[in-house]
Amino acid sequence: MHIQPLRYSPSVSPQKNVSNAEFAQVNNATQTSTPVSTDTITLSRDAKQLAANAQKSAEKPAEMPALRDNIETLVELKHAKMKYQVIADMTNIATGTSQGISAPTAYYLSHKEDARAMTVNHLAQQQQVNTMQIYAETSKNINEWA
């Protein structure tokens, strides 16, 4: 497609002043000469149903009570999980199989003076028992050598 520069256009020249009436005639001729498309589009039944569903869902906002219930359920679930973690850590400390404590347990112990004192006492007793067992084992090995 080749586009001619404005100076070669026969309808408008730079030297000629175009009146409003002539401009309107040229403009109307341009607008009416645009071909009208006769193509048709057929939508399937599924497409119509999807469009209707999309409009229905756009019209109905999410209900806040259902969202609030879901949030409350999530909070309860998180609370139960943290409580379980604290109980599991405390059980591991009591049985001597503790490899450390989790963040919820640390938070719990930092806010519960009596639980912290009991935990420290229990860990001190476990350390004393471990020290005595090592002493007994070492003494046994020394007695066997003699």
Q: Put residue 101 in one of left, alpha, beta given phi > 0 → left and psi -120 to 50 → alpha.
A: beta
**Looking at the whole model, is its pTM more than 0.85?**
no
Residue 47's pLDDT band, with cuts at 50, 70 and 90, is confident
3-state DSSP percent of the chain in helix, strand and coil, to 5: 70, 0, 30
Confidence of residue 97 (pLDDT cuts 50, 70, 90): confident
Q: How confident is residue 8, by pLDDT bands cut at 50, 70 and 90?
A: very low
| 3-class secondary-structure state, position 146 | coil
Band of pLDDT at residue 4, cut at 50, 70 and 90: low
Q: In 10 A of CB 146, how many CB atoms?
A: 4
Which of 16-30, 32-46, 104-118, 131-145 is the least confident region?
A: 16-30
Contact 111, 118 (CB under 8 A): no
What pLDDT, on the 0 to 100 scale, is given for residue 63?
A: 63
